[in-house]
């Protein structure tokens, strides 16, 4: 995909970068990354969608073209920033698609605008169950002087031995370009979210009304992890999940055609 010129909107004193692809008259898909990522995470996905949908990519504050240090923020502020861009573009009804812990902001946004505007959401490769002690320990280590080592341990888990060049570039050149301040902030926000809600599944339960929420993931593949989502689906049929079978933590990079198919299926369903 050829690089695109990012546009920007100042929201609450912060410059928020975004770009647009496709016809604005078509159904809208809003792509939201996780922490310490930017719009390039969706480079392989956008060309697969732009002929049929209006695709908007939004970078979080401090994550876009302007990397000036920003004050602390979390899912509430991220949802407000994204909604400001969405409203400025005149988008009414849309499908938010988030990756990793950008899901906390996705659910905040989904709850805030209601089912009329967001009848469905997609979250990608997000830890659906309670945070494990090992994960919390890594978050804690990422705040200290050994944060680079803790980051590399996560990168190795997410890469899982793959030689996918797009994923390796994303980890080594894109995510690694964020400084310790943003990385530590992300760990604080993620730990706080699990402490507040328990898990993303429990967060979903608190959203009034019902809309379709689908989780696409490739990691982890443990039977108990899949079983927890199946159990939740049985009692909450508006939730569904799909094991993507990709090599890494990043389906938009290693399995973009499958992700595009899931987005098309969700839009058709609503």
160-193 pLDDT tens trace: 999 999 999 999 999 999 999 999 999 999 999 9
Q: What region, left, alpha or beta, does residue 90 occupy, with left being phi > 0 and alpha being psi -120 to 50 degrees?
A: left
174 alpha carbon, distance to own chain's centre = 15
pTM of the predicted protein model: 0.97
Give the active site residue among 39, 63, 101, 249. Answer: 249
Is the pLDDT reported for residue 111 higher than 60?
A: yes
The predicted model gives 187-208 an average pLDDT of 97
What is the enclosing helix (H) or strand (E) of 165? helix 165-169
Is the pLDDT reported for residue 105 higher than 70?
A: yes
Is the pLDDT reported for residue 90 higher than 80?
A: yes
Tell me the CATH number at 210. 3.40.50.1820
Is residue 173 included in any domain, yes or no?
A: no
Question: Which domain range does residue 227 map to?
Answer: 7-132+199-269
Is the pLDDT reported for residue 144 higher than 90?
A: no
> Quick check: is 258 catalytic?
no
> Which tokens belong to 148?
């680079």
The pLDDT assigned to 3 comes to 55
Is residue 64 included in any domain, yes or no?
A: yes
* C-alpha dist (Å) from residue 158 to 35, 125, 171: 14, 10, 9
Is residue 112 included in any domain, yes or no?
A: yes
Is the pLDDT reported for residue 157 higher than 70?
A: yes
Per-residue H/E/C for 109-168: HHHHHCCCCCCEEEEECCCCCCCCHHHHHHHHHCCCCCHHHHHHHHHHHHHCCCCCHHHH
The pLDDT assigned to 143 comes to 87
How many domains, in total, are found in the chain? 1
Is residue 99 included in any domain, yes or no?
A: yes
Measured between alpha carbons, how far is 75 from 165 in angstroms, rounded to an integer?
30
């Amino acid at each position: 995909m050829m690089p695109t010129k990012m546009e920007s909107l100042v929201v609450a004193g912060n410059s928020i970068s975004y770009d647009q692809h496709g016809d604005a008259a078509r159904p809208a898909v809003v792509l939201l990354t996780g922490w310490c990522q930017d719009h390039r995470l969706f480079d392989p996905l956008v060309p697969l969608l732009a002929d049929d949908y209006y695709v908007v990519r939004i970078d979080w504050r401090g994550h876009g073209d302007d990397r000036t240090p920003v004050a602390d923020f979390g899912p509430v502020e991220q949802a407000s920033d994204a909604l400001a861009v969405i409203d400025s573009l005149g988008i009414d009804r849309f499908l938010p698609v988030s990756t990793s812990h950008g899901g906390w902001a996705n659910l905040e946004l989904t709850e805030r605008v209601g089912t009329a505007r967001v009848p469905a959401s997609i979250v990608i490769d997000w830890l659906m169950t309670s945070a494990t002690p090992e994960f919390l320990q890594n978050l804690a280590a990422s705040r200290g002087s050994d944060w680079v080592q803790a980051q590399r341990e996560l990168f190795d888990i997410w890469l899982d031995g793959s030689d996918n060049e797009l994923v390796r570039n994303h980890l080594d050149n894109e995510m690694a370009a964020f400084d310790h301040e943003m990385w530590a902030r992300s760990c604080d926000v993620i730990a706080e979210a699990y402490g507040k809600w328990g898990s993303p599944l429990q967060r979903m339960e608190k959203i009034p009304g019902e809309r379709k929420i689908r989780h696409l993931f490739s990691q982890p593949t443990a039977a108990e992890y899949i079983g927890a989502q199946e159990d939740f689906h049985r009692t909450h049929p508006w939730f569904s999940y799909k094991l993507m079978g990709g090599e890494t933590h990043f389906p938009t990079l290693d399995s973009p055609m499958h992700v595009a198919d899931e987005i098309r299926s969700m839009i058709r369903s609503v």
